[in-house]
Amino acid sequence: QVQLVESGGTLVQAGGSLRLSCLASGSIFEINAIDAMAWYRQAPGKQRELVATITSRGSTNSAESVKGRFTISRGSAKNTVYLQMNSLKPEDTAVYYCNAVLRQVNYWGRGTQVTVSS
């Protein structure tokens, strides 16, 4: 199994920047077998939505609503994924969750709260 722990969420003003981190722990075999990692977010009263993904080969993709503002990246040790968020807007306020896919099984962290004030 893989455990995911997010960090970096906080209160920030609109227009500001924030970097979220996700640390994956487990055996080295499991970490190296992760197919893809992603960031999702869920705002109050809304469904969880995909924000950005990164595959084991480093290919990335992001939602239209965050393109040009958010960047997903992976640490050199492959067990850390980051989400750099720039030009934050109040509508980016949500709980941000880290996700990992390993052998077609989804793993989730508990989330980190990001609040953007206007």
User: Residues 14-31: pLDDT tens digits?
Assistant: 999 999 999 999 988 888
Q: In sequence order, which residues have a C-beta less than 8 Å from that of residue 70 and are 6 or more positions away?
A: 51, 52, 62, 83, 84, 85, 86
**What one-character-per-residue DSSP string does 54-70 give?**
EETT--EEE-TTTTTTE
Q: Is 57 exposed, middle or buried (0-12, 13-18, 19+ CB in 10 A)?
A: exposed
Containing 72, the helix (H) or strand (E) segment is strand 70-74
The 10s digit of each residue's pLDDT in 17-74 is: 999 999 999 988 888 888 999 999 999 999 999 999 999 999 999 999 999 999 999 9
Is a pLDDT exceeding 80 seen at residue 77? Answer: no
